Structure 1
């Protein structure tokens, strides 16, 4: 085993060891749990940084030298991979194809193995059922490790200030350690079995943290909603994994990826296009015959795996759980939305990219496109700035899925990394605002820039990044996504929506993000009794009452006794603002080109992710100029609209006259109502799924109460009646007979007592009489 594998194994296990110490000795350690958890994840970051440097600066020499994606200049045509040879462990045979993938460190052993006793039966493929434990580190794993540990470390530090006064402070950090262990284990896993184990553990951790303040029913409901929605997706994932195992006989994703496709990226075809051939790895230097799997079945397996990813990464139609996950503490929201749970689904699609057939990729692309547009439109009308960020996460995850679906694997994963930085920044910034003003209600705020300059400026950096403004990281990753979409549409013009959806979604993103920043930080404080124009929208639509009820239900609404929550606002302490500054720096430079920091050319991070990627990616290099132009137009239109509607009055902006948000809401009342009610998905699910389930449960309850309990109670009543009859029979029959016999015996004894006179002559007389009677009886019997 390579020392690098041991290094990453230690990075996975350190948070687990920290969790065990923290949870077992929680009463003794108390607040020291925070330092143990933070030190553990910081140690993981150091190990990840060492591994990252070793991988990209020492081992993988071809990362920046090769243009590997495609060789053909035809738009959308897949070409040669140009990947470096694969190296698993110390060495691999030289026969490895370039399509085998990037350089990798790996180690594995079979934890559980079931084989055929006496050899495999006739006609079987003979594969043994094994549950391996293994680690595989390639370029994607190394980058994900560094991103997850870096962001998690900052969130731990931030949480020490944010959660300082919470009664369950030690338990919170124990859960964070378990969460980090789960995500790092998922990233390091070399096979589907381990990925699924950590996949489920991530879900458990999210349940514990979303419902951390479980005293309030709304928080518990949000945790249940997240858990159930993910279990629905996992059913599909289990089906997909079952198909892969029964058909191909392996859990190793590297074997699956390399065994299904040729070096040019095309599937190994059978006699016709209806069959795909899987070439198992050679065993004992002997050729193993390929396994044929129908194309439709491979598509079904891919869609099953994607169903699990839809649950984890909140894709349509399982997107409804993620906004409700805001019930947990803000650091949890940052961790879930940036570096852990929602990243897992996108990561798995990128990891299994060669597994997906063109039909499956098309479904992934359209699912991402629908998700990003739905979530963006809902975010436009939110008045809770934390909910705005939640729906923006759902929308950005849709961008990533769409990029992967159109063939832009590096683009989708690149946006996953850049999004992690600026979304963690935005959520932690939101927590800083709430820590100061104790409300999430944007119409009641305003003017916080002067009182919270660090929070305001760092959140502005995150806002510019997510809007795709040039020289910020989000600009480069969204440009890569738009380029991939343009290339896909050029290949198949009938799928023009695959460009229109992200273009429209990006425009709306720029609009609602600047709406959030302007309402929160710009202008003058409005307060709950203010007459700001934005409040007229809610007064017109009678939504203030609904908003107050929602805030009260979630337990973190505004302190309405303070009519101006911004009046006493102040900047957060350094333990909370320093992580914001670090994330703001990353939100700028993560998309730049070279280590010297020049923001031109192909970003370094995108090159790292594209190194050794599968050959079936799309050629989007020719479309970058068009995407650049589209990005500039999109950002300008979205930000311009944001200023047109929400720029504070009286300031010398370029806007000649502000537009009325209230008038727009009245004019487009139908759309506003649709978006405010979240496209009625919750109502639809409540009517189609929740209410029928509750009705069925009530029916089962009545059936249990009336029939089952009726039968049981009837039998009990019958038993009681029989028992009473038995008691009467015992008292009147058995007991009376026994008493009668006793009385007779007593009477006979009492009468016989008179014969006992105590005089010897009487006894001799009775004896003589008895003897005479005896002889008489014998004589009579003999005579007869």
Structure 2
């Protein structure tokens, strides 16, 4: 069953990728979508057997992969609760995106290629989440990077799509460089890249209690171990055990920052909206961008050994959540608003990981997949209805024309903003998971947990504002589109709406149904040691005792954002215009995304282009070509041109040359020469 779950998408990619043009678009759609639906159904069966059942963690061998001295890595599928949760997320969303794309991409002439790319991406993500060692994880990690490049640049005729694909690929390579170094570091420290060996050695590498400073005796013992001999040399520094673990964890986190779009490696995510909307829902809402969160959760036994690394994770996550929420306030492209929302929500997940609330992080990953995919596919339905228009300033007044899409988007917004009644079980999916992260930040033990709590509450207010701003600008008010566009506004076909209905069910009920399993009373029985539990148990215990004002803070923030958005875009639409004019500098700062792109262009892109131009013109053109093949060729041509001029074709020229030769010969003989 597990081999079928993983390899059916690969089979679909191979069939359609090789024979798609012969099979035709319809057959390609049905083959890839059918395989994904089967994988999704089997993933839910696995979820009930492993996560909710009594099945213990196990591995499914596939083949021998690497066997070189101490470096041994078999290709095997690691099946535990964390794996099956990710299988459900990846295959459920992917299958729905495949079905949705049958309607959304109906008029595209390259549908077989598109569906082949979707299946390739899904297979790469499945390789990542079922990995049993770091090399296999890196294989899937790079695979989703390749597939995202192909999907973002699917419309390769558009220069902006090509630029966005290249940007995503390059920025991710920066993060992946750190991830690769982290893998090397893990191998140096533990002598293995297999998770079972790594985790077994990590348990005795440093006492976990000492890493958290919870026991004085253990902390003293840890200090003696940590500050001993050098175990790793990095950039000229001789690192002991504690310092080496911090460096390795930070390198691994660097990979997560690139893949999961955390500041400062976030710039690729909004530009990735250049791809078709189903791509945004699949890659940038539920799967690829959550790879970094999954990786940190999987390697939680390592991160627990470095309090400093977890503090950095918390800070970067909180900063990203706040930054992306501020930028989302003023964006006008409907997909970019949702993209920055994704960036912000990923920041929430990293805060949970940083304070040790691993279950809360994966819970938010799980619920976020439903409502963010719902919002992306809903926005695709809007774009489909509005003749491919994505600017919300050119929408409005379409609520009654596409009512089903409207209500699906409202449900997604309710879940994203975390609507619910505090201290009860009444609420949407986002209410349970996002509030749990905010509460875990409040009780977190690291140095920036308090700052993270404040930033997350503010981000919750901003999230509510820009989410309802999207609803009000898109569906309410007077129509701002042209008469011709409004005349053609229509509801999407059932093949696009049915996936929205399924995702809406998850967005509404996934929180209340699975709350106890992910972060509640059934936590230990559910996770079965798939996550590090020592710090999580402390956090879970403390979360239940937070003051009431902490539980109310995200609710108040959500309500405040809703009221301000309603005032700005329903009651007094001129208010945001006046506010933007009054604070023009701040507005431009947010509209231009804190000028990260301009800063990177100045510091890196221009310098790289100048260096490349210099090496092209001077190094390659003047030195290599000038002194090499081009120079030799030019010299030969010059000599032959001069020789050719001697061949005039006139008889008297040749006779004259012969006379000169005879005279020269006679002169040589008269001067004493002989034969």
- The answer (yes or no) to whether the contact 1:465–1:473 under 8 Å persists in 2 is yes
**What is aligned with 2:634?**
717
Q: 1:19 aligns to what?
A: 13
After superposition, the Cα gap between the structure-2 partners of 1:706 and 1:412, relative to the gap in structure 1 and judged at 3 Å, is: same
**Which of these residues, 613, 631, 656, is aligned with residue 531 of structure 2?**
613
Aligned residues of 2:286 and 2:368 also touching (Cα < 8 A): no
Which region of structure 1 is more displaced relative to structure 2, 268-277 or 243-252? 268-277
CA distance in 2, matches of 1:612, 1:309: 19
The answer for the alignment partner of 1:517 in structure 2 is 471
In the alignment, which residue of structure 2 is the partner of 1:282?
Answer: none
Residue 721 of structure 1 and its aligned partner are, at CA, apart by 3.7
Calculate the TM-score normalised by the size of structure 1. 0.75
Displacement of 1:243? 1.0
CA distance in 1, matches of 2:528, 2:228: 26
Query: For the residues of structure 2 that align with 1:478 and 1:610, how far apart are their CA atoms?
Result: 23
Tell me if the contact between 2:82 and 2:531 (Cα under 8 Å) persists in the aligned partners: no
**Cα distance in structure 2, aligned partners of 1:218 and 1:687:** 20
After TM superposition, give the deviation of residue 35 of structure 1 in Å: 0.3
Instruction: Tell me: CA distance 1:394–1:725, structure 2 relative to 1, closer, same or farther (3 Å).
Output: same
Matched, 1:622 2:532: no
Q: TM-score, normalised by structure 2?
A: 0.86
Alignment match, 1:256: 198
Per the alignment, residue 197 of structure 1 pairs with 139
> 429, 434, 442: which one pairs with 1:473?
429
Equivalent residue of 1:272, what SS? Answer: helix
Alignment match, 1:446: 396
Identify which of 113, 136, 158 aligns with 2:78: 136
Q: Does 1:426 align with 2:344?
A: no
| Alpha-carbon distance in structure 2 between the residues aligned to 1:240 and 1:185 | 19
What is the 5 A alignment of 1:370-769?
370-438=319-387, 439-470=389-420, 471-488=427-444, 491=445, 495-527=449-481, 562-563=482-483, 565-593=485-513, 602=520, 608-609=526-527, 613-614=531-532, 615-617=534-536, 618-624=538-544, 625-626=546-547, 627-647=550-570, 649=571, 660-703=575-618, 704-712=620-628, 713-724=630-641
SS where residue 340 of structure 2 aligns? helix
CA displacement 1:41-69 (0-9 Å, x = unmatched): 11111221221122134325xxxxxxxxx
Report the alpha carbon displacement of residue 251 of structure 1 after superposing the two structures with TM. 0.7
| In structure 1, C-alpha distance between the alignment counterparts of 2:447 and 2:223, rounded to whole Å | 30
Q: Which runs of 4+ in 1 moved over 4 A?
A: 262-271, 492-495, 598-601, 603-607, 609-612, 724-732
Q: Displacement, 1:340?
A: 1.9
Flag structure 2 segments of 5+ consecutive residues without an equivalent: 212-217, 230-238, 421-426, 663-675
Q: 299, 317, 321: which one pairs with 2:264? A: 317
Instruction: Note if contact 1:264-1:616 (Cα within 8 Å) is conserved in structure 2.
Output: no
SS of aligned partner of 2:511 = coil
- Counterpart of 1:9 in structure 2 is 3
| 1:28 match: secondary structure | helix
Distance 1:610 1:592, change over 3 A: farther
Q: Secondary structure at the match of 1:133?
A: strand
Q: Which runs of 5+ in 1 are unaligned?
A: 1-6, 61-86, 88-102, 116-127, 278-291, 528-561, 650-656, 745-784
Q: Deviations over 1:718-747 (max 9, x none)?
A: 323433566688999xx979x989xx9xxx
Please give the alpha-carbon distance, in whole angstroms, between the structure 1 residues aligned to 2:527 and 2:432: 14
1:403, distance to aligned residue in structure 2 (A): 1.1
* C-alpha distance in structure 2 between counterparts of 1:564 and 1:640, whole Å: 33
Q: Hey, what does 2:246 align to over in structure 1? A: 299
Equivalent-residue separation in structure 1 for 2:34 and 2:525 (angstroms) = 32
Q: Secondary structure of 2:65's match? A: strand
**Cα separation, 2, equivalents of 1:264 and 1:380:** 41
Which has the larger share of helix? 2
Q: Does the 8 Å contact 1:483/1:620 carry over to 2?
A: no
Q: Whose RCO is larger (CA < 8 A, sep 6+)?
A: 1
Pairwise CA RMSD: 3.0
Query: Partners in 2 of 1:231 and 1:686 — Cα distance?
Result: 17
Looking at structure 2, the residues matched to 21 and 360 of structure 1 have their Cα atoms a distance apart, in angstroms, of 44
